[in-house]
Amino acid sequence: MGQERNYSGFANINHILEKLLIYFEKYKGIKDNISLAAWPGAKYIQYVVDNKKPYIPIFSHCDSNFHTYVLDLCGDIYACPDIIGRKEYSVGTFLPELSLESEKLRKWRNRTIFNLKSCLECNYAAICGGGCTLEAINKFNNPLHNFCIKSELKKILELLFDYYYDELFQ
Ligand code: SF4
């Protein structure tokens, strides 16, 4: 918990998706049992395919930017479960007394595409939300920096548009 992640394998996610879509094609039944939610943007394409209506645009990356409070065993409060243990990023305490640090909390809750440099002008903003806060911290030591995976996102969308073309456009 709270350890920095190694992202060296991150560039391979599109390769894995490419392979997975080949298996989806080959073994028709399996796609109903495998979620593509781990691939940025994919769940929105799946939503449109499944529901035949547009998805709701997002303005932030995840629940840590809205309402998540995670309580650890030491009495500290965090906005994200994956950052537990890195006390400098806690947003308050619940023991010995409840206390929230509004400045630190604001960095998580105000993190929207409207506040992140370059995101507002980005074509992918409404399905990306500015990227993961934790990853921005790990890479830039700054929760108010975007974590941009635009090229990966572009490739994911191309793969999925290609795969779901008939369902999306017929
Ligand atoms: S792809 Fe990059 S620039 Fe675009 S919204 Fe996401 S983080 Fe911001």
> In angstroms, what is the span from residue 30 Cα to ligand 1's centroid?
31
User: pLDDT band for position 154 (50/70/90)?
Assistant: very high
| Closest residue by CA, ligand 1 atom 3 | 119
CB 139 within 8 A of CB 147: yes
Residue range(s) defining the domain that contains residue 136: 13-61+111-169
118 and 159 co-located in one domain: yes
Q: Specify if 3 maps to a domain.
A: no
Ligand 1-lining residues (CB < 6 angstroms): 113, 116, 118-119, 122, 124-125, 128, 130-131, 146, 148, 150, 153
Q: What band does 9 get if pLDDT is binned at 50, 70 and 90?
A: low
45 and 34 in a single domain? The answer is: yes
Q: Which long-range contacts (CB under 8 A, 24 or more apart) does 20-29 make?
A: 21/159, 21/160, 21/163, 24/163, 25/163
Q: Domain check: are 115 and 164 in the same one?
A: yes
Q: Is residue 6 part of a domain?
A: no
20-58 pLDDT, tens digit per residue, is 999 998 998 888 888 888 888 888 888 898 899 999 999
Which residues have a Cβ under 8 Å from the Cβ of 62 and sit 6 or more positions away?
68, 80, 129, 132, 133
- Among 124, 147, 151, residue to substitute to test ligand 1 (most atoms within 8 Å of Cβ): 124
Q: What is the pLDDT of residues 86-120, one digit of tens each?
A: 999 999 999 999 999 999 999 999 999 999 988 98
In a domain, 2, yes or no: no
Whole-structure pTM value: 0.83
Pair (164, 104) in one structural domain = no
Domain count, the chain: 2
Stretch 75-84: mean pLDDT = 97
Could you tell me if residue 30 is inside a domain? yes
Ligand 1 centroid from CA 149, angstroms: 7
